[in-house]
Copies of this chain bind each other. A is one copy, B any other.
Amino acid sequence: MKPRDENKIDQIYQATLKQVKANGLAGITMQSVAREANIATGTLYIYFKNKEALILSLYHVCVKNSAGVYFKNYDPKAPFKVSFYLIWSNMVQHRISSFTESIFMEQCYHSPFIDEDTRKTLKKMFEPLMNLIKRGKEERLIKDIDTFWLIAFLIGTVNEIAKRTIYFNKKLTTEILNTNFQMCWDGIKA
């Protein structure tokens, strides 16, 4: 299942995301995805075994993409706050620029498509962040709270900032980004 026209797979992914954004996960059909991707219905089944495989596969790609972007330019040797700000703002910006993917992932989370196993791989992608947080605690820069909750705090703010930027059609200026970061930092700093 690795046919030559790799580019066509991306067409299918994009078509799927577009459909999910427009109609929700419940609203996508193989025909509508095919139509959106400008291919025949049957062609979908050359690239993906079935609907579940398509969605699962896209889900994995989205998760991998996220993780990749989150840690872009991350230098484990840079000072803690610099690294933390970098990752935090990477996350915010990626969730905004790839908001369609975020919606898709969110919708998948409780769907029958995603099984428990798939759900857990998500966790592993955040290990670099966990390690950074641990280091912050060791350096006495941030509160001595269970890393689990520190990350919850961090992700929660990131998600909501992204959501609201999109839904309320806000422009996320550097000033606003920094203001939000300030709250987040004040929340975790020792």
The answer, among B103, B161, B186, for a CB contact under 8 Å with A110, is B103
The answer, among B149, B179, B180, for a CB contact under 8 Å with A179, is B149
Q: Which residues of A contact B (CB under 8 A)?
A: 20-21, 23-27, 103, 106-107, 110-113, 143, 145-146, 148-150, 152-153, 155-161, 163-164, 168, 170, 176, 179-180, 182-184, 186-189
Known: A20-B110, A183-B187. 5 other contacts (CB 8 A): A23-B112, A24-B110, A149-B183, A156-B158, A157-B187
Least CB distance from A160 to B in Å reads: 3
Chain B residue, CB-CB nearest to A145: B179
B residues near A160, Cβ cutoff 8 Å: 152-153, 155-156, 159
